[in-house]
Structure 1
Amino acid sequence: MLSAPVVIVATICALIVIYFLPRLASVGRKLYGRYRRRQRNQRLERERQAQLQKRAQPH
């Protein structure tokens, strides 16, 4: 059996996590959105550069 202080501390920790979970989720979504946007912009830039080089090459 766990002692009462351990159970109380674990309960408080669980309540804190439950309280902050929505905030952490929104921060995570925002960071992931920025990451995806940066990846998409880099891919589009690479594709644009490849098209420019194709056009610049003599036939």
Structure 2
Amino acid sequence: MMRKIMRNRDAMTFVEYGLLIGVLALSIVFGMKSFTNQLYRLWHIVEVHSNNATSRH
């Protein structure tokens, strides 16, 4: 059975592409999570500084 699977290059290619797509999807998900966290921190800093600036006057 393994020899039959090993000879079927289309099935191997399909599995390889499936793994590649899975890895890319995970990279995108975790990358976006990191990006949104950084963006939230940036907007929080902007909010704090703008609140401080408006409360002084």
- Does the TM-score normalized on the shorter chain lie above 0.5? yes
Q: 1:18 offset after TM fit, Å?
A: 4.6
Give the secondary structure class of the aligned counterpart of 1:51.
Answer: helix
Against the structure 1 CA distance between its residues 54 and 29, is the aligned structure 2 distance closer, same or farther, given a 3 Å change threshold? same
State whether structure 2 residue 4 is matched by structure 1 residue 15: yes
Gaps of 5+ in 1: 1-11
TM-score, normalised by the number of residues in structure 2: 0.69
TM-score (normalised: structure 1): 0.67
Q: Structure 2 regions of 5+ residues with no counterpart? A: none
Q: Percent of counterpart pairs with the same letter?
A: 2
Matches within 5 A, 1:1-59: 12-19=1-8, 20-57=11-48, 58=52
What is the letter of the counterpart of residue 56 of structure 1? E
Deviant stretches of 4+, over 6 Å: none
Name the one with the larger helix percent: 2
In the alignment of these two chains, the number of paired residues is 48
